[in-house]
Amino acid sequence: MIDWFTVCAQIVNFLILVYLLKRFLYGPIIAAIDKREEKISARIKEVEQKHLAAEEEINLYRKKNEDFERQRAEMSAQMKEETGVQKNELLEKARQEIDDIKTRWNESVMRERDVFLRDLRRRVIDQVYAITREALADLAATDIEQHIVNVLIKKIKEANGEKVTQTLRNSPTGITIATSFELPGEQRQTISEAVREFLVENRDVKFIVSKDIICGIELKGNGYVIGWNLEGYLNSLEEDFNVAIEAGTGRAKC
């Protein structure tokens, strides 16, 4: 049953096969597996290193983020503070501007009031003058100018005295009769006679029309003045208007 030559041949064959398989199978396969394991290990190591590096980066960026957040909070607080200061400044400025505008407005109102009053005064004068003239003409068939002249003559008579006469006599510019209207010759004559009769005898009387006199007549000489005009009444009326306007403005402010 056992062929010893075959046994020997098979031993040799087996040993050759061991060598061949070691050369062509086990060696290359194990080398490939080892190489792959090395590669995988290297890759794992590389990944671990990258992971560590990534963690470091994460920590770095986390720290940066925290710093950034802290800086942002600080800047935000600073900005709020600056904004508050700026807001207060702006508010103060706005308040100042409002005050200025208010002042200017008040001044403007005052100016308008003055203009209005001046205009009112002029209109009132014209109106009063016209009404009075018409009333007197209707009632007594006389004009207002005549009444004014009469009032002056009455006052000249009342002012008769040594002191007045002395003052007027020494007047370097003479005696001036100023009226707000043109006096007719007859009335001039009447006034001149009254002056010579009751005040000064040998002095010329000069007649002028003055726009400064409001509906009236004045006798001037050496600082002495007698006369009558509407200015006093108008001043009183103006004061009443002023009081009324002030009261109205006060209510408007409230």
45 belongs to the binding site for other proteins (CB under 8 A)? no
What is the DSSP secondary structure assignment for residue 227, as one 8-state letter?
E
Q: Which CB atom, from 36 or from 123, has the smaller least distance to other proteins?
A: 36
Q: At what angle do helices 231-253 and 27-140 cross, to 10 degrees?
A: 150
Amino acid at 90: L
- Binding other proteins (rule: CB under 8 A), the pick from 5, 173, 253, 254 is 5
203-232: contacts with other proteins (CB under 8 A) = none
Label the pairing between strands 217-221 and 175-179: antiparallel
Stretch that binds other proteins, among 1-9, 60-68, 86-94, 217-225 (CB under 8 A): 1-9
Q: Residues binding other proteins: what is the number (CB under 8 A)?
A: 34
21 belongs to the binding site for other proteins (CB under 8 A)? yes
Cβ-proximal residues to 173 (8 Å cutoff; 6+ apart), any chain: 221, 222
What is the DSSP secondary structure assignment for residue 26, as one 8-state letter?
I
Least CB distance from residue 51 to other proteins, whole Å? 19
44 belongs to the binding site for other proteins (CB under 8 A)? no
Find, among 51, 75, 74, the residue nearest to 59 by Cα. 51
87 belongs to the binding site for other proteins (CB under 8 A)? no
16 belongs to the binding site for other proteins (CB under 8 A)? yes
Q: How far is CA 59 from CA 17, 45, 52, in A?
A: 60, 21, 10
Least CB distance from residue 7 to other proteins, whole Å? 5
Assess contact for 217 and 227: CB atoms under 8 A.
yes
Q: Give the binding site for other proteins (CB under 8 A).
A: 1-11, 13-22, 24-26, 28-33, 35-36, 39-40
